[in-house]
Structure 1
Amino acid sequence: MIEPGGKLGKYELRGTLGRGAMGVVYDGWDPIIGRRVAIKTARTPDASDTEAVEEMARFKREAQAAGRLTHPNIVGVYDYGEDNGVAYIVMEFVDGPSLKSLIEKQERMALPQIVKVMEDLLTGLAFSHARGIVHRDIKPANLMLTTDGIGKIADFGIARIESSSMTQAGTVMGTPAYMSPEQFMGQTVDARTDIYSSGVLLYQLLTGERPFEGGMTAIMHKALHTDPTPPSTLSVTSPRALDAVVAKAMAKRPEERYPNAEAFLAALKAAASGQAPAPEPDEEATMVAPRAAAAVAPKPAAPARPTAPGAA
C-alpha cells in the first residue's frame, strides 16, 4: 500500500476511499488538469502466478471496457498506468455514496426514487450493451449515486467484451446473490445476464431483501430451481403490478427475460404508473392470422356485364 502523500505516475494520492477486490482505491488529484479523481490500484503479479496474471488481465480489461463508455450513467475512466510494481486505473470521482451503503443503512426508497435509480442503471446498460459490453457484476456496490441523485455504473472489471477471448464459457464470475443461472453454470453470457442481475437489484430495492440468501451453493440451487417470493408479498409498498416485471427480468431462461434494457425499463415505468404494459407480439399468431383471414374472406363479386345500348 502506498501512503497518502505519495504519487502514482503524475497523480497525487491525497487519501484513501476504500479497498477494492485487488487493492486500495485512492482519493487522487491530477495536477495537470486540476481534477479530483479516484484511483484503483493492484499489485502487478509475478509471471509465474497464473491466477494473479489472469486477475491483472481483468484489471486491464476494466480500463479497456470502461474507457470505451462515455455516458452520464457510467463512471468515466480517464487513464491506465503502471508504476513501481503497481497498476492503476484513474476514474471519475463520484461525490456520493454507493447504493450498497444506502441499503446497509436501511434507507428505504419511495417508489419514484426506485424507478429513477433503475432508469439510470438500465439507461447506462443499454448504452453499454449497444457497444458490445456486458457488465456481468451488477449489484448495489457497483452503482454510485452523485449528490444530485444521478446513478452511475462502476467497475467493469469482469466485463465481457465481444472482441475479447479472455472470458470464456466455463468461467464462473460475479457476486453469488446477483448472478444469473447461466453464470452459475459457467455458460457464455450476453446482455440478458445483466437484465437478471438488475431484476435482483430491483427486488431488493422494493422489499429490502435479496430474493435468494445463503452460501454460494444454496443461492445457486435457488437461482436454478426456485422462484422468489413476489415483492408485493413482502412489502405493502410494492405495487402488485411490479411482481410480473421482476419475475420476467429474473426468468431462469435468458430467452424468457426482457430482450434488452430498454424493454425492461418501459415495462417498469408502465407498471409503476399503473398502466397496462403493451402486449408483446405473438409470433405464432402473427404467422397464422393472415392465412386464417384469407380462408374466411368473402370472394370478390363478379364484375357486372356491360349492358347493351338500348337494352331494357
Structure 2
Amino acid sequence: MSQAAEANTGRIIEGRYRIIGKIAEGGMATVYEALDQRLNRHVAVKIMHAQLAQGLHRAQFEERFRREATSAAAIANPHIVQVYDTGQVDGLDYLVMEYVHGVNLRYEMNQQGTFTLKETIRIVSEVLDGLASAHEAGVVHRDIKPENILINDRGHVEITDFGLARAASQATLSSTGMLLGTAAYLPPETIEQNLATPQGDLYAVGIVAWEMLTGSVPFVSDNPVTVVFKHVHEDVPPLSQVCPGIDPAASAFVSRLLARKQEDRPAEASAALAELKQDMAGLDLEAWRYRLMPADPTESADKPALAGTSVRAAAAEPGTTGGEDQQGDQADDLFADADEPTVAFDEGSLRSGTDEDPSATRRYAAASPSTKRQTAPMTAVQELGEMDSKPTHRRGRWVAIVVIVILALLAACGGGGAWWYFRGPGSYWKLPRPNDVSCQEGQPCSIKGADAAHYEQTLKVAGIPYTIKNDFSDTVPQGHVIDANPGQADDKVSKRGGEVSLIVSRGVKMATIPQDILVPSSQVGAHPLEALKQAGFSQINHQDANDEYSMDVPEGAALRVDPAPGSTTKHNETVSITLSKGRMPVTMPTVVGKNRDDASQALNELRLKTNYSEQWSDTIASGQIISASHNAGDFLHWGDQVDLVVSKGPQMVTLPDLRGKNENDASKALKDLGLEVNISAPLGDLSHTVRLQSPGPGEQVRLHGTDGKPTVITLTVV
C-alpha cells in the first residue's frame, strides 16, 4: 500500500465517510472502501491524485470527475452503478458511489476464455438495459468495455465509469482535442468524424459480445492506432465465420451491432434490446449451450479457444439441467424484468451444461472467505485499463493486449501520474507506423510515401500535434507524404512543444503553354524559351539543328510548339519547340545583261523582292537588264529588295518636214529634238531657205548612235 493510501486509512471525510482501506489505484485516482457513518453502509470513495490536481491539466481531470458524477446521477437503473455524493477534500476532487462486491467482465474473460451463448446474451441484455436508461436520459457512455462492466457476487451486471460520457446533444469530441475511448472498442464514426452517439455504445457492446464468444477482440495489433483503422476500413467478421455452429440469429444480431455504418445499427440501446429479445426467443436448448472450445479437448476449458475451432456443448447429464428443460422458461429467465436487482438464475442454470465448470461455480458462489480473496471487491469507478487480479489462465497474447489497452487509455485520458507524464512514457509520443508503407521488421520505417489523409487521422487518434505543408513532387503521388520531421516511425515526439511536420505531395506540378507564345510581337513570343521556363516547364526540347529559316518570323521567335499554346500538362512533360533562324542568307546572282524574265526568275527563287525601272539604252537591247542595285556575289537575305533597270532600247524620234522653212528655224527644231544639224549650201546660201532634208520628213531616226553621239540631220539650203 502506498504512503498516501496508508495515510488515508481511518480518515473521515466531511465528517461522514470513514476510509477502511484501498481497493484500487489507477493513473488518475485512488479508490477506497469506506463506511458511510450516517447511513451505515459501505461505499466506494474515489479521490484524485494530488500530483494531477496540482498539474497543468487539473481542469480537465476535475471536469471528468464532475461529468462522471452528473452523468451517472441522471440515470436510474439497477444496471448502472450509482453515484451518491461528490466534493473536495484538501483541494482534491472525490466521488462517493455504490460499493460493488464482485469482479469486472475482464476478470471473467481472463478466467473463462470463452462464454456460452446463454451467458453472453444474459450479460449483453443487462448491459443494453442499463444503456437504454442512459440513452433515454440523453447520455452517451463512450467507453463501454469489459473493464467497465461489473458483475457482483450474484452475477448481476452494473455499468460503471461515466467519466467519458457526454450528453447526446453535445456528442462530438472536437472540444476535447483528442480521441477518447479504448482502441479495441471504438466505433468507426468516432474515429473518422469525432462523433459520440448511442450507436457507438452499441458498437462497443457488439465487440464485447464478439470477444466473449470468440475469446478475443476481432482486431488485434501491437499498435492501438492500427486497431482503430481496422475498425474504419474493415468489417468485423461475422461470428458464423469464427464460431462454426453458432446459431445464425445470434451471429446476425451481433453483426447488426457491429455494422460499420452508424445508420445500419439500431438507433439506441432500447431498440437493440427489443431486437435481441425477438431474435433469441426461438433458440433451442442446444443453441443456448453453444460455446467455442479449444481444438484440443485436453486443454482447459477456461483458456481461450483458437479461432475457427469449436464444438457444441455436450448434452447435459441427467440431473444437471435444472430448470432448463423448457425452452420458454429459459427465455423468460434470460430476459427477466430489468427492475429486478439480481438475475433470475441459479448457479446451475448459468453453467455451460456440466457441473464440472469451475469458472461458473466460482463466479456465482456465495462469498466464502476463500471466494472473497478470488473475487476482490470491485468499485464503480474502476480506472481505465486497471484490473484487480492478474490473469492466471491466459495466453501471452492477452498480456500484450492488456498492456496496449492500458497505455492507449492512459495516453488518451491524460492520466498516469506525474512521473508518467513528465519523465516516463507519458512525456513523449512515439511516432506511429503508417499502415500503407512496407517496413521490414527491426528496420527503420520511414513515414515517406504514406497516405497523408490516413496518417493525419493516425496522428489525430494518437493525439500527436502536427503541421502540414503542401508541395509538388515528381515522384510522390498526390496526397502522400514527401517528407516528415521526425521522419521515422517509433521516433519520439515530446509532449512539451513537440510536433510532427509533414510535407504532403500535391502531385506533379501542372503548367500551361503560354497562349501567345507564337506571337512574335508579344513579350512571351519574343523570348519563348524563357517564357516556357517561367511557366514551370522543366523538360524543354529545343535543338538548334532543327530550327528553321523564316521569311516572316524573326530570329529567336517560335515557329512551332508541342503541346499547342494554351494546353495544360505536367511540368515535367516534354515540350518540343522549333525556333526561327530569321531570313535565310543568299548570294546576289548575275542579272545585268539578262532579259527581264530570266532575271525575275533567278531573284524570285532566292525570295528576293524586285523593283523594276526602265531606261533608254543605245547599247543594250530593249528588255535586257541594264543595271541592278546589288552587284553579283553580294550577301543578301530572304526578303531583301533588288532594284533593276530594264533597257527600253535606243531612243527614236520622227523627223518633221522642215522644207521651205528658214534655215535657222529648221536648225532650232532639230536641235530641240536632240539631233545634230548639218547645213549644206552647194549653190550658196542666198535665201536661207531649206530646200532638202536627209533623212526625209516622217522618217524615224535614233536620237543617238551606238557611240552615244546625237544623230546628224543634213539640211540643204539655197
**Contact in 2 for aligned 1:75/1:91 (Cα 8 Å):** yes
Residue identity matched to 1:213: V
Bigger RCO (CA 8 Å, 6+ sep):
1
Which residue number in structure 1 is paired with residue 274 of structure 2?
Answer: 266
CA offset at residue 269 of structure 1? 3.1
Q: Deviations over 1:91-135 (max 9, x none)?
A: 101121111110111253322221111111001101000111000
How far apart, in 2, do the equivalents of 1:186 and 1:28 lie? 42
2:72 paired with 1:66? yes
Residue identity matched to 1:87: D
2:234 paired with 1:229? no
Counterpart mapping for 1:107-256 below 5 A: 108-162=114-168, 168=174, 171-214=178-221, 215-236=223-244, 238-256=246-264
How far apart, in 2, do the equivalents of 1:66 and 1:205 lie? 26
Q: Deviations over 1:251-282 (max 9, x none)?
A: 1121111112122223333333446xxxxxxx
**More helix per residue: 1 or 2?**
1
Instruction: With the length of structure 1 as denominator, give the TM-score of the two structures.
Output: 0.81
Task: Pick closer, same or farther for the CA change 1:238–1:26 going to 2, 3 Å.
Answer: farther
How far apart, in 1, do the equivalents of 2:171 and 2:239 lie? 38
Which residue number in structure 2 is paired with residue 5 of structure 1?
Answer: 10
Q: Secondary structure at the match of 2:58?
A: helix
How far apart, in 1, do the equivalents of 2:79 and 2:245 lie? 27
Counterpart mapping for 1:40-55 below 5 A: 40-43=46-49, 45=52, 49=56, 51-55=57-61
How far apart, in 2, do the equivalents of 1:14 and 1:237 lie? 49
Q: Percent identity?
A: 33
How far apart, in 2, do the equivalents of 1:186 and 1:158 lie? 17
Residue identity matched to 1:67: A
Counterpart mapping for 1:68-83 below 5 A: 68-83=74-89
How far apart, in 2, do the equivalents of 1:168 and 1:65 lie? 19
How far apart, in 1, do the equivalents of 2:28 and 2:193 lie? 23
**Contact in 1 for aligned 2:5/2:21 (Cα 8 Å):** no
Q: Secondary structure at the match of 1:238?
A: coil
Task: Pick closer, same or farther for the CA change 1:242–1:21 going to 2, 3 Å.
Answer: farther
How far apart, in 1, do the equivalents of 2:156 and 2:234 lie? 34
Q: Deviations over 1:30-82 (max 9, x none)?
A: 11110101111213655771x33212211211011111122111000000011
Which residue of 27, 49, 66 corresponds with 2:33? 27
**Contact in 2 for aligned 1:11/1:28 (Cα 8 Å):** yes
How far apart, in 2, do the equivalents of 1:162 and 1:192 lie? 11
Instruction: List runs of 5+ in structure 1 lacking aligned partners.
Output: 276-312
**Contact in 2 for aligned 1:206/1:238 (Cα 8 Å):** no
Q: Secondary structure at the match of 1:105?
A: helix
How far apart, in 2, do the equivalents of 1:65 and 1:223 lie? 27
CA offset at residue 166 of structure 1? 9.6
Residue identity matched to 2:194: Q
Residue identity matched to 1:58: R
Instruction: List runs of 5+ in structure 2 lacking aligned partners.
Output: 284-718
**Which protein is bigger by CA-based radius of gyration?**
2
Q: Secondary structure at the match of 1:258?
A: coil
How far apart, in 2, do the equivalents of 1:228 and 1:165 lie? 24
Which residue of 91, 96, 119 corresponds with 1:90? 96
Q: Deviations over 1:155-193 (max 9, x none)?
A: 100100246699546541101101111222352322111
**Contact in 2 for aligned 1:43/1:85 (Cα 8 Å):** no
Q: Secondary structure at the match of 1:57?
A: helix
Runs of 4+ in 1 over 4 A off after TM superposition: 44-48, 162-167
Task: Pick closer, same or farther for the CA change 1:26–1:273 going to 2, 3 Å.
Answer: same
> Which moved further from structure 2: 235-244 or 13-22?
235-244
How far apart, in 1, do the equivalents of 2:47 and 2:245 lie? 41
Which residue number in structure 2 is paired with residue 257 of structure 1?
Answer: 265
Q: Secondary structure at the match of 1:17?
A: strand
How far apart, in 1, do the equivalents of 2:24 and 2:219 lie? 27
Measured on the aligned residues, the alpha-carbon RMSD in Å equals 2.2
